[in-house]
């Protein structure tokens, strides 16, 4: 009873922060994103009826392994709840062994939980013999992934540019494709300025969001934004997408910074890149914009034609430690290449 899945992380343009329902993990609006081909999680899951306990290990891009326990934070607990949920649905009793390998830093705002939880659910259901019901139907897969605790993970269930639809109930909230990966040759250069795990995980941050005095203002602001962003993607309108995505980033971070306790993710490195991008936009006229998830690292979006120019300019920013070059990617898939 073993299976392996590969899932990409994604970068959100209209972002998910805060929830309508904390049990069903229902977001407060439709959110959308692009899958990233260089930020992948490969996860092998094996179930065995003679095992009493679960063993979960996550390894990052430099081979650092972390044993995950149910006593960990919210993010770690989501993994064990997900294993329990899958076992219950499959009427299986026994333990699981999970090994997840990522190609990028973990917990640093590059959507490691999106890639990791999505691959866990795909591999888990395939290992339990529920591939047809739960994995091969991408809408149902996306609902199941959302229940693992991450809406961003649910967006990785489909290829390319995707959106997770807003609904007030479980059935209505699922992911659909906006466009396939080859629709638009956008490039996401992730400027890594911090590798360490953030203090407030997104799993916890969602519970804090409505403590911000700007929460209601964000809800008003979000109205119609996902539709406009979808149009910008379909029309390949770079400037329209740039404005929507940058505004949404700053709007979301205003909520993060003002929640109690606050989730202040920006560092001096983040600001260095934001100011550099502002000057490239204003003084050079390069097609480039920023977007930032729950972390310090900056996703720098440009087109294939400008990839080398932006890469070079980013390399000259003193606080950039490394750059991950991403093209739009396919979503979750099952593979025969097991890690163990």
Q: Looking at 203, 241, 255, 301, which residue binds ligand PMV (CB under 6 A)?
A: 203
Residue position matching structure tokens 């007030």 = 168
> Please, are residues 290 and 279 in contact by the beta-carbon 8 Å criterion?
no
Pick between residue 114 and residue 277 the one whose CB is nearest to ligand PMV: 114
**CA-CA distance, 266 to 271, in Å (whole number)?**
7
Helices (H), 91-224: 112-127, 138-147, 151-155, 202-208, 215-222
CB of 202 to ligand PMV, least distance (A): 4
CB of 20 to ligand PMV, least distance (A): 14
Pick between residue 44 and residue 249 the one whose CB is nearest to ligand PMV: 249
12 binds ligand PMV, rule: CB under 6 A: yes
CB of 340 to ligand PMV, least distance (A): 26
Sort 207 into a burial class: Cβ within 10 Å, 0-12 / 13-18 / 19+.
middle
CB of 293 to ligand PMV, least distance (A): 3
Let me know how long the chain is. Answer: 340
> Please, are residues 149 and 81 in contact by the beta-carbon 8 Å criterion?
yes
CB of 92 to ligand PMV, least distance (A): 26
Q: Looking at 90, 115, 151, 329, which residue binds ligand PMV (CB under 6 A)?
A: 151
Binding-site string for ligand PMV from residue 156 to residue 185, where x marks contact by CB under 6 A and - marks none = ------------------------------
CB of 76 to ligand PMV, least distance (A): 13
List own/partner pairs for 259-266 with CB under 8 A and 24 or more apart: 259/205, 259/208, 259/209, 259/211, 259/212, 260/208, 260/211, 260/212, 261/200, 261/208, 263/198, 263/199, 263/200, 263/205, 263/208, 263/294, 265/109, 265/198, 265/292, 265/294, 265/295, 265/296, 266/292, 266/296
Binding to ligand PMV (CB under 6 A) within 23-62 occurs at 31
Listed ranges 14-22, 38-46, 175-183, 307-315: which one lies at the site for ligand PMV (CB under 6 A): 14-22
Binding-site string for ligand PMV from residue 107 to residue 136, where x marks contact by CB under 6 A and - marks none = ----x-xx----------------------
Q: Looking at 3, 16, 229, 263, which residue binds ligand PMV (CB under 6 A)?
A: 16
Q: Looking at 17, 125, 161, 280, which residue binds ligand PMV (CB under 6 A)?
A: 17
Binding to ligand PMV (CB under 6 A) within 272-331 occurs at 293-294
> Please, are residues 212 and 83 in contact by the beta-carbon 8 Å criterion?
no
Binding site for ligand PMV (CB under 6 A): 12, 15-17, 31, 111, 113-114, 150-153, 202-203, 206, 293-294
């Amino acid at each position: 009873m073993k299976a392996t899945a590969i899932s990409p992380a994604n970068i959100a343009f209209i972002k998910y922060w805060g929830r309508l329902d904390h049990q069903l993990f229902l977001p407060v609006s439709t959110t959308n994103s692009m899958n990233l081909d260089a930020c992948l999680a490969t996860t092998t899951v094996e179930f065995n009826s003679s095992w009493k306990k679960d063993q979960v290990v996550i390894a990052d891009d430099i081979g650092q392994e972390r044993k995950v326990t149910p006593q960990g934070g919210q993010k770690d607990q989501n993994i064990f709840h997900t294993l329990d949920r899958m076992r219950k649905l499959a009427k299986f009793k026994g333990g699981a062994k999970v090994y997840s390998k990522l190609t990028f830093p973990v917990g640093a705002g590059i959507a490691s939980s999106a890639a990791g939880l999505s691959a866990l659910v795909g591999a888990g259901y395939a290992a339990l013999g529920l591939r047809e019901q739960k994995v091969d139907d991408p809408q149902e897969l996306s609902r199941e992934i959302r229940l693992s605790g991450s809406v961003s993970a649910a967006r990785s269930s489909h290829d390319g540019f995707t959106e997770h639809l807003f609904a007030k109930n479980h059935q209505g909230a699922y992911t659909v494709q906006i466009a396939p990966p080859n629709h638009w040759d956008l490039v996401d250069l992730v400027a890594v300025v911090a590798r360490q795990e953030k203090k407030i995980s997104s799993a916890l941050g969602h519970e804090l969001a409505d403590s911000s005095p700007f929460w209601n203002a964000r809800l008003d602001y979000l109205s119609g934004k996902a539709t406009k962003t979808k149009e910008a993607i379909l029309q390949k309108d770079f400037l329209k997408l740039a404005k929507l995505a940058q505004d949404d980033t700053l709007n979301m971070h205003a909520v993060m910074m003002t929640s109690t306790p606050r989730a202040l993710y920006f560092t001096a490195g983040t600001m260095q890149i934001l100011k550099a991008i502002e000057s490239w936009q204003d003084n050079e006229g390069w097609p480039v914009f920023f977007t930032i998830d729950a972390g310090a690292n900056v996703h720098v979006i440009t087109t294939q034609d400008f990839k080398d120019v932006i890469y070079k300019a980013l390399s000259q920013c003193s606080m950039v430690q490394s750059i991950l070059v991403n093209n739009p990617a396919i979503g979750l898939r099952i593979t025969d290449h097991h890690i163990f």
